Amino acid sequence: MKLSDKIAAHPTSRPFFTFEFFPPRTDQGFENLVSRISRLSGLHPIAISVTWGAGGSTKDRSLDLAGVTQAEYGIDTILHLTCTNMVPGLVDDVLHAAKAHGIQNILALRGDPPRGQEHWTPIDSRFSRGVDLVKYIRSSPEFSSYFCIGVAAYPEGHPDNQMDDDGSLVILKEKVEAGADFIVTQLFYDADRFLQWLQKVRSQGIDVPIIPGVMPIQTYSSFLRVVSLCGVHVPPSIMADLEPIRHNDQSVKEYGIQLAVNTIHKITGRGDIRGVHFCTLNLEKSVQLVLERLNWAGGSPVMRNKLIADSPMPMAPTSDLIITPTNATTNAAVALASKPTVECERPGRGELNNAASWDDFPNGRFGDYKSPAFGVQDQWGGLGISVHVVDPEFQSVFDSIFVIDLVRRIGNYPAATESPY
């Protein structure tokens, strides 16, 4: 189903949410991520999104993951599609494959420079900006009416250019006028600044749904890295709060959860924002706790103790607090009979590997390939996290300095009786 239709049909009294995942690098990670998505689907997201590697570097895995979530779990899926390194013909191939999988939602993005390149350059001259993808899909008789198209927005500006707010709004409006149905924003941590930007967007006549990107802080080091790559502003109060707990992963994680809750409360307090987009980093516990604290995740039924009467006694006909021994036995037997059988895991795939939160702290995983969070790190799909790679010429200089210093250090050790060369 198209996301625009789902948003329109969603009750205005209850905000919606979406989850973003990236395809893991390994088969084991892929399998574990599918299990993770299966658990998160119980929270009832309105849709999930699957990112796209530069130039289709994750093409097969992205399509496989999107196909599984769409067909097997019945979760409407948004497939990211970028312009980076897209050779002629690849865009059509992807759109045909998405349609074959029943995927109706595309997030059209320019994308970041491919790994190893500092500057972005188009491969197919037809696609140099996200708006080019929007125009192409809308101009196709086969795809125009089939796909719902989303685009990216940058409330604090795109990190790759120095364009002012007015220039950025012109580009965003161009995307919407070309046929975009919804907008997903880059993550941010300054809610006041976001709301100011939102007011400017609406003043330009842009009225499609805007879905803010939210990334709960996982660890202090990953937070600093993301903030640096995105170029987003962090209020001084947040940095001051994090400073004394920066070495305590659990405290930072807890702070990140509550910060996300507070931010979401603030931005959804306005009628313009009806839902949020969670950047999960393929982790589940933080977003689950955020949703529980927001009371968006539903809840377990209220359980009340019942009195088993020793003998028949007068009671109100509608009372459910007293139960007879016969009824208690019958209810217990029915519950046991209907309890699902838990299949035993294969050797090596027990609780350690499949627990919901065993890799809650990615900086402590040592890159375990079994984790869904282990994947290519340019998975952001162009939503504003730009990875700037060191120029090869400078890298060569750094390597030379390192070797010279290493030779000097080795020569200072007593055991170094001869030159390393």
Q: Predicted confidence band at 173 (pLDDT cuts at 50, 70, 90)?
A: very high
In this structure, is the dihedral angle defined by the CA atoms of residues 260, 238, 199 and 158, taken in order, positive or negative? Answer: negative
> What mean pLDDT comes out for the span 290-314?
66
Per-residue pLDDT tens digits for 256-290: 999 999 999 999 987 689 999 999 999 999 999 99
The four Cα atoms 226, 228, 230, 231 give a dihedral, to 10 degrees, of 150
Provide CB contacts within 8 A for 38, sequence distance 6+.
Answer: 73
Provide CB contacts within 8 A for 236, sequence distance 6+.
Answer: none
Share of the chain above pLDDT 70, in %: 69
Radius of gyration of the chain (CA): 26
Mean pLDDT, the chain, integer? 79
Q: Predicted confidence band at 86 (pLDDT cuts at 50, 70, 90)?
A: confident
The set of catalytic residues is: 20
> What mean pLDDT comes out for the span 115-139?
79
126 vs 247, more confident: 247
> Which pLDDT score is estimated for 375?
55
> Which pLDDT score is estimated for 387?
42
Whether 307 and 59 have beta carbons less than 8 Å apart is answered as: no
> Nearest-5° angle of CA 234, CA 263, CA 373?
75
> Which pLDDT score is estimated for 204?
95
> Which pLDDT score is estimated for 243?
96
Among 141-150, 164-173, 297-306, which is the least confidently predicted range? 297-306
Q: Predicted confidence band at 116 (pLDDT cuts at 50, 70, 90)?
A: low
> Which pLDDT score is estimated for 167?
82
73 vs 403, more confident: 73
> Which pLDDT score is estimated for 338?
47
Backbone φ and ψ for 136, nearest 5 degrees, come out as -65, -45
What is the C-alpha to C-alpha distance for residues 350 and 358, in angstroms, rounded to an integer?
Answer: 12
State yes or no: pLDDT of 347 exceeds 50: no
CA–chain centroid gap for 384, Å, is 13
Per-residue pLDDT tens digits for 333-345: 655 554 444 344 4
364 vs 35, more confident: 35
> Which pLDDT score is estimated for 294?
96
Per-residue pLDDT tens digits for 201-230: 999 999 999 999 999 999 999 999 999 888
Per-residue pLDDT tens digits for 8-44: 999 988 899 999 999 888 888 888 899 999 999 999 9
**Whole-structure pTM value:** 0.74
> Which pLDDT score is estimated for 349?
41
> What mean pLDDT comes out for the span 231-259?
96
